[in-house]
Structure 1
Amino acid sequence: KAVAVRGSRGKTWLQMTRNWGANWQSSGDLRGQRLSFRVTLLDRKTLTFLNVVPSSWWFGQTFSSRGQFF
């Protein structure tokens, strides 16, 4: 239902929008920061994945996490 991202230098979650297929975007400038994600499902269950992307990331990369949801 919703995805948010937070950079390692930030304290607030930034809502993300889906721009095509599985691609999501945020209006924040998060370059050079570790990234954490918060996913809210239709049943309102929220899962948080902390620091799953290193600060050395660049646009176009993909990452995986051990975190799972159903």
Structure 2
Amino acid sequence: MRVPGILGPDRRGEGGWVEFVFDCGWCEGDNYFVGKQVGFWVDKWEVPSEWECRFCGELNSTPDPPWTEA
């Protein structure tokens, strides 16, 4: 089980996971994404570069890091 904001190995042993929250640029709704740790870097995460807001459906771009953990 993943706990938001806490690092832990995934079930396949491929690295850690952290949940991030991004605000929609159109409606300011909170959108949550689980970032996968990239390689052995403890501060590098893979998240979608573009995503649709779960509230208004508008397309958004992921901001540059650092990101806010959920």
Shorter-chain TM range is: 0.3 to 0.5
Structure (1/2) with the larger strand percentage: 1
Question: TM-score normalized by structure 2?
Answer: 0.35
Question: TM-score normalized by structure 1?
Answer: 0.35
